[in-house]
Amino acid sequence: MQSQLNYTVCDILHVELSSYEFNSSTLAISPHFTNHIVMVKFLALAAVAASAAASAAVQIPQSPPKVINGTEVPMGKYSYVTSLRHDETYPSNCIASLVAPKILVTAAHCSLYEWARFASIGSHYLNGTMDGERIKIVKRTQHPKYNKASRYDYDFAVFELETASSFPPIKLNWDEDQFSAPGVVAWVRGFGTTKSDESQSPVLLEADVPIYSNAACQKAFSSLKYNITGSMICAGGESKDVCQGNSGGPLTVTRNGIEYLVGVTSLGFRCGVKGYPGGYARISEARDFIEPFLPKTAC
């Protein structure tokens, strides 16, 4: 009964039940955010799933974002990191990256249920109200090849802002070979705990993570019967990783002093578990989708 409950809630509501033990016969991999229904407690989700789907209540992720073993970034740096919220003061639940003055790139599963209505851009703080900008999101577009049944293949979305941000956007990497080769050290950033199950950090965190080959990543996830496709890239794993709530966040590399976005946080098995790297949507595989949204000078 427990394994059936895990599968049903995860599959229908995209909820990660991190307090339960998963195995390869159930849904072992989950996106890095947890969906809750407003005014419904976590433990009651399974019982109310059917009625909630038919109700007008907004479904909003509410789990704390996590960067496992992360450290605080310097104040004012990485201002392209954006937290997504239901309103201007609502807690952050997904992350995005500013790639043009009015354009954000995030994970497609962060666009489900249309809960993300505001973007907090350039804030060093979790609450998003002490600095930075708060701009309304006016349009969300998922990659045409994204399939929410599988959730992770082509897990890209573009969010359009009502007004332009004044913060500098991050550059996009279209060169798969140069920037995402196995062994390259990349960086992840987001808000949350420095260790799994601890309280949230009030400030922006970062961690360095090595990139895996897709073959090595597929081997790691083979026991879970999950397919790592060409639209994905893997990094991190033991000790340093991202966790629930950091979906859509940036995976970046720096070359010649310039930082490039190479991946979008997408999937993982628990958090920081040995032998299981985190999964990201590979930016170089989404050029045809993202580029039409950008000003010609953005790249």
Residues classed as catalytic:
109, 155, 247
- DSSP letter string over 177-217? HHHS-TT-EEEEEEESBSSTTSPPPSBEEEEEEEEEPHHHH
Q: Half-sphere exposure of residue 20, counting CA atoms within 13 Å on the CB side?
A: 21
SS (H, E, C) 69-118: CCEECCCCCCCCEEEEECCCCCCCCEEEEEEECCEEEECHHHHHHHCCCE
Token representation of residue 40:
């419904």
Instruction: Answer whether 245's CB lies under 8 Å from 193's CB.
Output: no
258-268 vs 171-172, strand pairing mode: parallel
